[in-house]
Amino acid sequence: MSRKLVRPRNGRMIAGVCAGLAHRFGISAGMVRLLFLLSLLLPGTQVIVYLALWIVMPNEDRYLASSR
């Protein structure tokens, strides 16, 4: 099974973006969340990227329904 970039139904904290990225790259969701929180200390567009991923990444349910 290939790892697609989707927001999972299980393991979400807010929108599932960090959990989806963690699953896609094979690392722990806690590590992705920690890296995101640490990145907020740096200037940049982290929040905008998070919101964009929230919009662009499909829900796992929708992805599974469309792949049938």
Tell me the C-alpha distance between 45 and 63, whole Å.
27
Residues 4-36 pLDDT 10s = 899 998 888 999 999 999 999 999 999 999 999
Query: Would the pLDDT of 1 be above 60?
Result: no
Q: Which of 16, 38, 37, 19 is nearest to 27 (CA)?
A: 19
For Cα atoms 47, 52, 56, give the angle at the middle one, nearest 5 degrees.
150
Query: Would the pLDDT of 37 be above 90?
Result: yes
Q: Which helix (H) or strand (E) holds 63?
A: helix 60-66
In percent, the amount of the chain with pLDDT more than 70 equals 88
Q: Copy the structure tokens of residue 40.
A: 């907020």
* Residue ranges of domains in the chain: 17-66
Specify the pTM: 0.81
Sign of the CA dihedral running 26, 28, 33, 35: negative
